[in-house]
Structure 1
C-alpha cells in the first residue's frame, strides 16, 4: 500500500511520458503485422498506463484517508448537533486496514447557534452538502485531522482513542467510537497466516474461490457524562465515562464495550473446510457469511 501511495503521487508525471492507450494499440497492431512477433515492450507500456490510471482514480485503499463528516443531526436531549465522522488508515506494522467511525456531539456555541433551530431540531435553512471533508466544525477541522493521523494505530485500543479524543477537544463529546479491523485475509498460494486454513484452501478446485476474509468490528460507547466545573483557581472539562465490558474477558482485553468477529468465504471453500472437519473450529465465535452465485448468505 505504501508503494501504491507513492505511485499515486507520481501518476500524473509518469503518464505524461507514456503514449495514450489508442496510440499504443495502433503501435502494437503495426508491430505484430510488420515483425510477426509479440510487442512485449509496448505491452509493458500499456500495462503501466492502465495501472497508473487506476491508481490515480483513488479507488485504492491508501495509507491514510482523511476524515469525512457523513451525517449531521441534533441530540433531542442535549440540543447539541452531533456528527458521524469516518476515516481510515493502513497500519503497516500490523499489515491491516482499519476503518474508524465516531459519533461526536459538538457543544461549540457557534455550531449550536448555526445548526440548532428554536425547536431543538436541525436547522433546515443551513445547507450541508454531505459528505463534508473533515470535521464539520471548521475551527476544529485541522486539529481533528492531526488527531486522527496520530491516533489510528492498531496498537491503540478503541478505549484509548476515545479517551484521547475526549481529552484533546474541549467542545467535543465523543459518544461512540467504532473500529473495523479488515483481516486477516487468507488465500491459497498468496498468504501464509494459518497452516490449517492454508492447507485446506490449497485443495479447493477453483483457485478464484480459495480465499477467506475475516474482520472484527469493535465498539466503545459513553455510558454517562461527567459535568465539568469552573473555579477561581482550577477547572475541569466535561468528560465521558466509557463503558468497557469487563464481564467479557476478550472485550476487556480489546478495550471495548462490544465486538463482533465476521468471516466471508466462497461456498466452495466453506465446503472444503466443512468436509475436512475444520469449519466448526475455525469459525467458532464468528458470524459466517457465505458467497454463493453472487449472493451473500449470512448467519450460517
Structure 2
C-alpha cells in the first residue's frame, strides 16, 4: 500500500483520477471517512432516498448531490464522483453490465449521487484498539455476502441486506461491538455474530463480493450491514440504470472519522 494510509484524501483522489490506484481503498487516508456510492436518475431518486431512510444500517446517508451535480460538496468540496473512485459498476435494468474506472460517458444531467457510510471508516479505531482487521493484514478486499435478511421496501426498491465480515476472537468481537456502536453513520454495531447459516450464508469461504479471508482457530465471524446492499437491490429492483462503486473501491472524503462518532 506504500504510504497511502498517511496521504491526504485529495492526494489519494488525484491518484485515483490518474488511475494509479485501481483497487481496494481499505486502509487509505487513515482517519478519514470513506463512502459507498449509488448514482440514479432523478426519477428514481426519491424512492431511493426513502429506501435509505428506512434502512439506515446498510444505507446510512452521508451526502446527496443536487440533480446533475457530480460534486459531493458536504463531504469533499471540489471532488468528482465520476472519476474519484477506483472502480465503478454499471447496472442496467438490474443486470451488471460493466466495470469501469471512469463514468463520465455514462453521466446524465438528471443524475443524483448518494454517498453512503462505509465500514472501512471504523476500521481505524478497531486497529487503534489492537483488534486485527484480516483483509488489511492479507492485503485484499473485505468479504461480503448476501443474506436472508430483507430490507424494508421503499417504492420500487427492495432486496436482501448485504453484510461485510471480519473474523475475530470472541473477546475482540465484544470490544468491536462497543467500538463500532459509536459510529451509526457508518453501519454501527454488527448485525450478526457467529453461525453464518443463520443469516442465509451457506459457505463462508465463498463471498458474493470481495475476497475470502483466513478464519483462524478460535475465531468467529462478525458481520456488519454493508453499503454494497444497493447492488443486490439493483439486481432485484431493476432500475433503468444504477451506477455504484466497485466493492471495496470507495470514495474517500475530507471528513474525519471522529465527526461521525456519537461518544
Smaller-chain TM-score range? under 0.3
Structure with higher RCO (Cα < 8 A, 6+ apart)? 2
- Pick the structure with more strand per residue: 1
Question: Counting helix residues as a fraction of each chain, which structure ranks higher?
Answer: 1
Larger Rg: 1
Return the TM-score normalized by structure 1: 0.22
